[in-house]
Amino acid sequence: MEEIHDPELLQSYLQAHHIEAVFNAPLMPHLSLYRFDQGELICSQGEPAQVLYVLVKGKLKTYTTSAEGKTLILSFKTPLEVIGDIEYVHGTNIINTVEAVSAVWMIGVHHRCLKQYGRDHAPLLQFLLEIITDKFYRKSTSLSFNLMYPVEVRLASYLLSVSFDESDALFKGQLSTFSLVDAANLIGTSYRHLNRVIRKFCAEGLIERNKGFILVKDREGLNVLASRNIYE
């Protein structure tokens, strides 16, 4: 994580996403702009929650881990999204792990500053209400439903999400073959079944497995197979 000391850039992100009014004058000096590199963790499940982040550029991945160590991907997030909102309102530890899929820029503000300066600021409260209700609506309607899709659809959606970022045309991600066990857990299937589907995708020319990585060769073909990206 790197803090970017550029007030003009921070202001430009606020304006671009029309959220200048969300933060009142007393809160503004306490806003910081952060950059996270691809693969860097923004927060980890179970850790104390201290900062509320607003995603203004890039793509994030959220996933949860069970007591048995099983992980399951929940969704990929693009702007405008908030991390730490539920934890701030409820005063709980971090609920899910959040990881940068591409390089991401986030506006951060410490919880203690929010409590001191924003507790009664109506635009901020309305903003958090809209974000949280939308988050719960999407989660309640998508999590169990997504697991009903066949593994082919889930893998196609996952590959599209980790390989491309619509806000950054230059970003071309790839999946390490050393991470296939994690990928299998994340999309809710076995490692053996995942390998069978990968071989099928390779035979169909959708992807290429080479030098320790899986690369997308036919993005449109994966789009057709996924129908829509179930993780975004």
Question: Mind listing the domains of the chain with CATH numbers?
Answer: 2-146 (2.60.120.10), 151-226 (1.10.10.10)
Q: What's the pLDDT at 173?
A: 74
55 within 8 A of 78, measured Cβ to Cβ: yes
| Alpha carbons 207 and 211: distance in angstroms, whole number | 13
Lowest mean pLDDT among 49-53, 85-89, 132-136, 143-147: 143-147
49 within 8 A of 88, measured Cβ to Cβ: yes
Q: What's the pLDDT at 230?
A: 72
pLDDT tens-digit profile of 83-127? 999 999 999 999 999 999 999 999 999 999 999 999 999 999 999
Biggest CA pair distance of the chain: 59
Q: Which amino acid is at 227?
A: S
Q: What's the pLDDT at 86?
A: 93
Average pLDDT over residues 216-226: 93
pLDDT band at 191 (very low <50, low <70, confident <90, very high): very high
180 within 8 A of 193, measured Cβ to Cβ: no
Q: What percent of the chain has pLDDT over 70?
A: 95
pLDDT tens-digit profile of 45-93? 999 999 999 999 999 999 988 888 878 888 889 999 999 999 999 999 9
Q: What percent of the chain has pLDDT over 90?
A: 69
Q: Is the pLDDT of residue 151 over 80?
A: yes
Q: What are the beta bridge partners of residue 131? A: none
Q: Is the pLDDT of residue 142 over 70?
A: no
